[in-house]
Chain A
Amino acid sequence: MLQIEHLTKMYGDLVAVHDLTMTIDDGDIFGFIGLNGAGKTTTIKAVVGIHTFDEGDIRINGMSIKANPTACKRQLAYIPDNPDLYEFMSGIKYLNFVADIFGVPAKLRQERIDKYAGGLELSRDLLSPISSYSHGMKQKLAVISALIHDPKLLVLDEPFVGLDPKATFTLKGYFKDITDAGGSIFFSTHGLEVAQNLCNKIGIIEKGQLVEAGPTEEIVGKKSLEQVFLDLLNEGESGTTR
């Protein structure tokens, strides 16, 4: 589904991501873990076509995001860590806007909006302006807008931040629906427990480099993900000190 090959992204002289290679297969839920400033958001923004990059390539279903950005974006949906949406629109106008961009037929969009807005308990607020929404409500609206065109690849940056426990549970259910249908999820998180329980694959990034990636049970083994993560960071720091 998603192949990242030797991705390098620089901001001036600063190397944000260096030679990152990883693959996410159909049906995977891939958790992307790292400290603040490790390069998670930069990688995610490169995957969804927001950032250009200096070296390497990103392929979605075999298509390069560099060569075919629009075709790639048709297959994915992205939810940022802070859902800044068009505050001058109402919730329903925003959903119709996204549905128009993806060309979702009226009947289908109605079914999906009913389903997801009902599931996330946002139906009553769809006519209200987004400027009146709380952070969690904006996050829910971003989730609905991401699911409205039935994406094959869902890319999320810290998706559970701001969501109430019930919405978090519902979103996890949607993740499962997507992967059961052959889609894939790629998300960053600081919640190591969530990653360990939810993801079948995990990648750990540190200072722009992928230090570990693979099936969750292989990486974690008999330890907790938290312990593995801290061990990796300590190794990295002692390596740097040396």
Chain B
Amino acid sequence: MWLRFMKPWGLRPRGEKWKGRLQSLLALQPLRLASGCRPPSVTARALVNHWAQLFEERGVPEARESSEYIVAHVLGAKTFQSLSASQRCAPITDLQQEQIGELCTRRLQRMPVQYVIGEWDFQGLTLKMTPPVFIPRPETEELVNLVLHEQSQRCQEFRRKRTLAHQSHSWPLILDVCCGSGAIALSLLSKLTQSRVVAVDKGEEAVQLTRENAQRLHLEDRIQIVRHDITSGVNREQLLPWGPVDFVVSNPPYIFHCDMAQLAPEILSYEDTDSLDGGENGMSVIREILSQAPMLLKDSGSIFLEVDPRHPELVEKWLQSHPDLGLSLLATHVDFCGKPRFLHIHKSRDPGSRRTQNV
């Protein structure tokens, strides 16, 4: 019965959706009274089915998932699967139905689910998401794990050598280039409880969002957020407030320019293309990071990059043609789909005169 009432909102043309919904809600009231008894309460599952079907009809990808995430969000859960039995069968209020309708209408306009509900999870954190700041992809969670793994290896090595070396063990300093929403920087800070991170992005929205996320997660004391375009050269004072870093981590724009047109509407019309478009062969920002990294890294520091599966070969060639940088590709790691996705690049020697200065 309620489906009959709901259909009109979703199917209404975009412009008049708000007014239309209110009218149909008002129209619903007298009917309820007339029937003389409580109308059957709408269940969460029925709402999910309704919107999933509508998404399907309109060609919205991940129709069921989108519908589930939105309904769960309005009911106060992260996923539909994590709704408790009582949450699931409690009657849904008119206000909740209205909220769900409003959010689903945005999804019908192909807005990514993460922007629709205004947040998403990355590693263990819930981050605020606002357009047009790049939405972190699941692959990048693995990039963070690689950095954490490297750090735990360094710790073990340090413990083994402790009797020999006199340098004190310290938490790594990290530079996150193209930080977007702050996903990489903040998840590293939450795991490495005494590390400090410098997060850099050229977009004002990204810098703002990283700052907001850092505050929400109470990590703002250990992060320095800098608005800076890495392609315009290095500003060491800005980028290295605490001196050279142990790790440079980045998920730079790496999509080949020629592939940009084929991206889904969710990406093309909502996400900042500057955070995706890597130029002619997706290398423009990668090259900049590699050129500048030797000046930013400590001796034997590491760079961790997320790249396109065609990049490992290109990057290796490029590094070979730039021996003066003193960088070497230590390892290529595959993502959960088995695609070569992550590069671990090592700074093997200092290119400039710093080494002699240190001696």
Q: Does B bind A?
A: no
